[in-house]
Amino acid sequence: MRHTIVMTGASRGIGRAAAERILRRSPDTHLLVVARGASGARTAAELAAGGHAVSHVPADLGSLDSVRAAATAIRDRLDHGGLPPLRGFVGNAGVQYTDALTEGPDGFESTFTVNVLANHLFVRLLQDRFAPPARIVITTSDTHFGDLRHNLGMVPGPAWKAPDVLARVGAFPGPHTAAAGRTAYSTSKLAVIHLVHEYARRLPAGIGAVAHNPGFVPSTGLAREAGRVSRFAMRYVLPVVTLTPLATGRGAAGRHLADVVLGATPAPTGSYVDRDRVARSSEESYDPRREG
Ligand SMILES: NC(=O)c1ccc[n+]([C@@H]2O[C@H](COP(=O)([O-])OP(=O)(O)OC[C@H]3O[C@@H](n4cnc5c(N)ncnc54)[C@H](OP(=O)(O)O)[C@@H]3O)[C@@H](O)[C@H]2O)c1
């Protein structure tokens, strides 16, 4: 049956590979790409090649007004017959900054805004438009574990604080440093696992929520805000790591994400999918006092 999947972060990287596979594997899908600037129209046109149903809504996920406007436009299109029933939301967009001082127009720190608040706002504003069975998938990261085995020593572990502190600039020591920017990143990825747990408790039956960890995927655009050395490593050195079990190629990561979105990877609501199977996320991610 024809249905709509709303997706952020489909313009490049893991999300682009996932979007292509979703459309190939599920021809009944209308993929609604949410992207900033001109990239929405371009991405939709490229993905539509071959006759796939793809459209776009503009949004800069670093601005909550922009997210609200996008969600309103999606609701209008769903309500007025412009889109088939909503069966999925994929919150895959993500950023990592070189400090913890980047502030968006709402006065919130930008990592937390894009990686956490934008997803939450979409889920809340689209909640009553999902047509069960529906699935929400939010992209998390190995970095939420904070141990050497999962982050290869590249990203500091999360440093949990009250969400209203995490949402503001300067939440971590030495906020002008790259370490603070990366701590903001790993903490934001822990926060989305908490969100998924809470969605599993609160959303009506038939609307599932899953956190997906793509693993370490070198050669995407994620480190483009990083310094020259990190960018060089990410672009030229780390792709070699793709040949080892430590890393996942972009195509495989996209396939894994698509399989979670389409339900081809079985995953109960509230679960954490590590690449292609349900697993346990970090011990601290199961602290219910942080949720609710
Ligand atoms: N690569 C890895 O090793 C790795 C590991 C674990 C988790 N992840 C997660 O996987 C997801 C995809 O990352 P990637 O590695 O594929 O990186 P990427 O190539 O940089 O893709 C990031 C995506 O997010 C979008 N985005 C970022 N900020 C946005 C904003 N303000 N408004 C609208 N869209 C925005 C980008 O759109 P533009 O094209 O407009 O920039 C792009 O589509 C992220 O959530 C990331 O945290 C990646």
Which pairs count as long-range contacts for 201-207, CB under 8 Å and 24+ apart, including other chains? 201/270, 201/291, 201/292, 203/127, 203/136, 203/269, 204/132, 205/132, 206/132, 206/133, 206/134, 207/127, 207/130, 207/132, 207/133, 207/134, 207/135, 207/136, 207/269
- Identify the sign of the CA torsion 24, 29, 34, 38: positive
pLDDT at residue 218, rounded to an integer: 83
**Which of 60, 95, 273 most suits a substitution to test ligand 1, by most atoms within 8 Å of the C-beta?**
95
Q: Which atom of ligand 1 sits closest to the CA of residue 66?
A: 32
* Closest alpha carbon to 53 in 78, 74, 73, 83: 83
CATH of the domain at 224: 3.40.50.720
Q: Which residue's C-alpha comes closest to atom 39 of ligand 1?
A: 11
Instruction: Read off the pLDDT of residues 69-81 as tens digits, 9 standing for 90 and up.
Output: 999 999 999 999 8
Instruction: Answer whether 95 contacts ligand 1 (Cβ < 6 A).
Output: yes
Asked if the model's pLDDT at residue 245 lies above 80, the reply is no
Pairing between strand 207-213 and 53-58? unpaired
**Which of 217, 237, 274 most suits a substitution to test ligand 1, by most atoms within 8 Å of the C-beta?**
217
Confidence of residue 229 (pLDDT cuts 50, 70, 90): low
pLDDT at residue 236, rounded to an integer: 61
Confidence of residue 270 (pLDDT cuts 50, 70, 90): very high
Return the number of other C-beta atoms located less than 10 Å from residue 280's C-beta. 10
| Overall domain count for the chain | 1
**170 Cα–ligand 1 center, Å:** 22
- Identify the sign of the CA torsion 85, 89, 90, 94: positive
Domain that holds residue 281: 3-290
Contact in structure between 113 and 62 (CB atoms under 8 Å)? yes
Rounded Cα distance between 127 and 258, Å, is 21
Q: Which atom of ligand 1 sits closest to the CA of residue 37?
A: 40
**Which of 222, 248, 274 most suits a substitution to test ligand 1, by most atoms within 8 Å of the C-beta?**
222
- Mean pLDDT across the chain, nearest whole number? 93
Instruction: Answer whether 222 contacts ligand 1 (Cβ < 6 A).
Output: yes
Return the number of other C-beta atoms located less than 10 Å from residue 91's C-beta. 31
Q: Which residue's C-alpha comes closest to atom 1 of ligand 1?
A: 217
* Closest alpha carbon to 15 in 26, 31, 28, 27: 31
> What integer is the mean pLDDT of 149-168?
91
Instruction: Answer whether 61 contacts ligand 1 (Cβ < 6 A).
Output: yes
The pTM for the full model equals 0.95
Asked if the model's pLDDT at residue 256 lies above 70, the reply is yes
pLDDT at residue 242, rounded to an integer: 62
> What integer is the mean pLDDT of 260-282?
97
